[in-house]
Structure 1
Amino acid sequence: MKKRMTLVLLLMFTTLVSAQKMNNNKKAILASVEKHEAALIKISDSIWALAETAFEEHKSAEILANYAEKNGFNVQRGVAGMPTAFVATYGSGAPVISVLGEFDALPGISQKAVPTKEPLQDGAAGHGCGHNLFGAGSLGAAIAVKELIAQGKLKGTVKFFGTPSEEKFFGKIWMVREGLWDGVDVNLSWHPSAATKADVQSSLALVDFKVEFFGQAAHASADPWNGRSASDALELYTTGINYYREHIKPTVRIHYHIQDGGQVVNVVPDYSKLWVRVRDTKRSGMMPVYERVQKMAEGAAIMANVDYKISLISGIYEVLVNRAGGEIMQQNLELLGDISYTAEEIAFGKKIQEITGKPQVGMDASINPLEETKEHPGGGSTDVGDVSWNVANINLGVTTAPKDTPWHSWAVVACGGMSIGHKGMSYAAKAMGMTMVDLFENPKLVEKVKTEYKERKGSEVYEAIVPEGPPPIGTN
């Protein structure tokens, strides 16, 4: 009984301390997100249903831009040469705090909002990375901060960046190249996840390029000696890549997708094409591998007696971690507490886990502690990395799918179109809004975050990994 009373008193004390830290501006953030929640869910669901892919997100981008405009933001559309990129701005002066929003889908994973695999439309796209939630949640945070600036309770500028084509061409690179983050003090970003935590892990640097081989067509049976096979070159090249895998560091990843290996069986192919991707935990480790794999294309062309061409598509940096920003975010996550789920939502999650062969443990609702930053993390890549090398950046992950859910899959699409995803989206809006309040209210925190950014970047000179000219609009 005595232990129980002690526990009750401890909980009461913890609640009191939390209440004291939840100042009026942060309470206003929560109230604003809840006020706009129905509209934000409608926006998210509309983008989820549209499922527009890289550089084709015209309706999705317009939905977000229109709602920003409706809520008093000045919206600049079609920035950095991309019709679906935009910047929404409110306020004036320092500090300038920005937040990222994404909204592109992935091809081929259309799915209904049900816990069994069931496409909305066979072969169509789906939001298997939760970007329908990403854009709407970030806009919710920006609007909540805007309202405080409008009321005179905060001073400064808030920006919402609508960033297209994260999944394929990495639209943020062209936005960075255009200087759109010049003058921004701190940037915030979040991503749908299977866990909720302040994200202080980096990502993988990446480079994408296209390899084409050009040969001579001939009859495959009557006179193959008159042919020079572009398909042979392609196979020799991929064989070289696969033998090379034994001799690269464990942090490196090499992927390729054969886009054209010839059209018919009775013709020696005179053309072949593949998309190649090289990754590593550091750009400095990625570049030598990239250079080596390019040389292999020349070797394959020599062996097959064909010509070849290499075309850079784009490339991205690893995320530059900011632990000072992560600590601010962590405090706000702990203030907010765990996401709560209904019995129906937990059952939905367990059904997905059952079908995908994972332990049926349901949702991870806990607030994970701030992790130690790993030197060589696993995982994927994001063009948020390029933003993070140009402005101090704070990252967040929020639960929008069951524990261990396969990402970029139908299961994530299903959760993003129902209440599990909606709850994560609203939570992210609140956490980012509260963190922005801390930055607006306390200039010392802004300086602390910016100081760490400068220290981690050091003497590194950022160089965008993109070809000359405009973004590859219309090549999806």
Structure 2
Amino acid sequence: MGKSDIVSWIEENESKFVDVAKQIWDHPEVGYRESFASALQIKVLEEAGFTITAGVGDIPTAFIAEYGTGKPVIGILGEFDALPGLSQQVCPEYSPVVPNGPGHGCGHNLLGTAGVEAVVALKEQMEVERLSGTIRYYGCPAEELLSGKTFMARSGAFDDLDCTLTWHPWTYNSTANASMQALTAVEFFFSGRTSHAGAAPHLGRSALDAVELMNVGANYLREHVPDGSRIHYQITNGGAAPNIVPDAASVYYFLRASDRKQVDELKERLIKVAQGAAMMTETSVRWEIKSGCYDTLPNKTLNELMFKQAEAAGQMTYTPEEEKFAEELVQTIDPSVIAAVKRQMSDKNADTLLNPHFYNDTNQFGTTMGGSSDVGDVSWITPMGQIMTACAPLGVQLHSWQATASFGSTIGMKGMQYSAKIMALSAYELLLDPNGILEKAKEEFAASTKGVEYKAGIPADVKPPVSNKEAFLEPTI
């Protein structure tokens, strides 16, 4: 009866958690500023009887909510930060709530709320059955800046977990079997000497010249990096005016590769490019590491456990109004994008905008996708299971206004409820664990890590940017 009781509890309390997700969607906050979302989730968890540890990793909005005692210790990860510039109403045409304002274009209003719902539902069942074990919800800030969990991990927040579960909003239901890339974000600051660009250019030493030469060098470097690596950059300061030789300029780089070692090697090569540019322009250069997350390490044992909960969770269904909304929303997307998605989905039902089927594509193990996430750090500390659930119509791209509209709609809320059921049911099985699933997951984890111990990719002297206004404007994925 335990599983059916958990599902019934989630369904009976659906409106409460839909309201929480909608409130966070209505109050979008970018990374390290998620005070509303963090406080709201803490309030819900405190009222449910969880013990709260706030300010984890020296981040005011990071927290851990815990219930129970003893082993196993099971974590569920949650996020709640929004993206800049993606404000959008729940409607199928472009209509920002606040022009150029933030919005939940990655669905973290759903992601964190589902985690809260899952642990509260599980706690209710633990009390009924008097189950031993410890469950935790991790309120993780600034995933969009790819550093919140890294700072939390650096502080040891995940070290005593036996395993963790998480999910992400998507356009269909699937286990997350492909790895995401490791990433380092580093900003370079060049210093030169100012002068009048017309009257005395020979007296100046242009920091902007150094930036541009560095970018040229980086573009030549692209040919000589491992396949699948990525180098992308943004000039963050190009000087004050054309007639002033700039004495300060900066450029911000994202470096991605299939694993942490390759990214670290790429960073060292890029630093040499920056130093060469400084030498050529008689300027100086310094750099700051902003984030340094690991590649994700999928755990087949835990992913299959989550996949097996689909029958107990029940299949999602959609109303005619939701199907109409999906059709109208997808019509706003460039046809070439839709065609590319259909090619990618050739082995699935690519013509169904709202697809309730749950896929477990085991062929994805050993492959790498282009995005990055700081959940990778956690996956190198403890075994991690992850799924994606349908919270938007097929064809909608994350980090778009169409995604923001979807994640505030009833379509998004249904995907959230589904993921809460899957996570709660999976954690319940791990608490009982008659088949030794947790031990199998740990054995797989040990084989996958090959003895490599986690070391945070952000240096110890770099602090969370909780007072740095510019830190809240950095895009990702």
Partner residue of 1:471? 464
1:170 equivalent among 141, 144, 147: 147
Q: Alpha-carbon deviation of 1:287?
A: 2.1
Specify the alignment match of 1:197 in structure 2: 174
Q: Distance in 2 between matches of 1:173 and 1:337?
A: 35
**Range that drifts further, 307-316 or 461-470:** 461-470
Which SS does the other structure have where 1:151 is aligned?
A: helix
Deviation at 1:431, TM superposition (A): 0.7
SS at match of 2:359: coil
Give the match for residue 212 of structure 1. 189
| CA–CA distance in structure 1, aligned partners of residues 459 and 227 of structure 2 | 28
- Give 1:361 shift: 4.3
| Aligned CA distance change for structure 1 residues 120 and 103 (closer, same or farther; 3 Å) | same
Q: Which residue in the other structure is 1:349 paired with? A: 326
Write the distance in 2 (CA, Å) between the matches of 1:369 and 1:318.
20
Query: Deviation at 1:404?
Result: 2.1
Segment of structure 1 superposing worse, 330-339 or 171-180: 330-339
Report the equivalent of 2:426.
Answer: 435
How many residue pairs are counted as aligned between the two chains? 453
Question: For residue 398 of structure 1, what is the aligned residue in structure 2?
Answer: 389
CA contact (8 A) 2:230 2:255 kept: yes
Q: Which residues of 2 match residues 127-276 of structure 1 at below 5 A?
A: 127-276=104-253
Q: State the AA in 1 paired with 2:217.
A: G
Deviates more, 1:95-104 or 1:249-258: 249-258
**Equivalent residue letter for 1:386:** D
1:289 to 250, 266, 270: 266
1:84 match:
61
CA distance in 2, matches of 1:97, 1:206: 27
Deviation, structure 1 residue 246: 2.5
What is residue 448 of structure 2 aligned with on the other side?
A: 456
Q: Structure 2 CA distance, aligned partners of 1:473 and 1:55?
A: 6
Runs of 4 or more, structure 1, over 6 Å off, are none
Q: For 1:415, give the aligned amino acid.
A: S
Following TM superposition, by how much is the alpha carbon of 1:79 offset from its aligned partner in structure 2, in angstroms?
A: 1.5
**How much does 1:365 deviate?**
2.0
Q: TM-score, normalised by structure 2?
A: 0.92
Instruction: Return the alpha-carbon distance in structure 1 between the equivalents of residues 205 and 359 of structure 2.
Output: 58
Match of 2:345 in 1: none
Q: Does 1:412 align with 2:389?
A: no
One-letter code aligned to 2:292 = G
Shift of 1:348: 1.3
- The 8 Å contact of residues 53 and 107 in structure 1, kept in 2 or not, is answered as yes
1-structure distance, mates of 2:33, 2:331: 34
Structure 1 spans left out of the alignment, 5+ residues: 1-23
Structure 2 counterpart of 1:422: 413
How far, CA to CA, are the matches of 1:388 and 1:417 in structure 2?
29
Is contact 2:4-2:312 (8 Å) kept?
Answer: no
What amino acid does structure 1 have at the position aligned with 2:178?
Q
**Pair 322,169 (structure 1): closer, same or farther in 2 beyond 3 Å:** closer
Q: Deviations over 1:157-183 (max 9, x none)?
A: 110000001111511111111111222
- Percent identity over the alignment is 36
How far apart in 2 are the matches of 1:247 and 1:178? Answer: 36
Larger deviation: 149-158 or 295-304?
149-158
CA-CA distance at 1:329 after TM superposition: 0.9
| Deviation string, structure 1 residues 46-91 (Cα, Å, up to 9, x no partner) | 1111110110001110001110001111111111111000000011
For the residue of structure 1 that corresponds to 2:144, the secondary structure is coil
Deviation by residue 1:365-416 (Cα, 9 ceiling, x = unmatched): 2111342234331231111110011111111111111112111111110011
1:36, distance to aligned residue in structure 2 (A): 2.2
Indicate the SS of the match to 1:355. coil
Counterpart CA distance in 1 for 2:311 and 2:176 is 14
Equivalent in 427, 438, 444 of residue 446 of structure 1: 438
Is contact 1:327-1:370 (8 Å) kept? no
Q: Is the 8 A contact 1:350 1:361 kept in 2?
A: no
Distance 1:39 1:156 in 2: 26
The match for 2:342 is: none
SS class of match (2:231): strand
Alpha-carbon shift at residue 314 of structure 1 (Å): 1.9
Shift of 1:337: 4.4
Structure 1 residues 289-323: Cα deviation after superposition (integer angstroms, max 9, x where no partner): 22111110011111111111111122011111100
Segments of structure 2 that go 5 or more residues without pairing to the other structure are 340-350, 472-477
Q: Is the 8 A contact 1:206 1:279 kept in 2?
A: yes
Structure 2: distance between partners of 1:152 and 1:375 = 39
Structure 2 SS opposite 1:167: helix
1:18 alignment counterpart: none
Structure number, greater radius of gyration: 1
Comparing 62-71 with 174-183, greater Cα deviation is found at: 174-183
Q: 1:378 is aligned with what amino acid? A: M
Other structure's SS at 2:16 match: helix
TM-score with structure 1 length normalisation? 0.93
Give CA-to-partner distance per residue, 1:173-200, whole Å, 9 cap, x none.
Answer: 1111111122211100000011101212
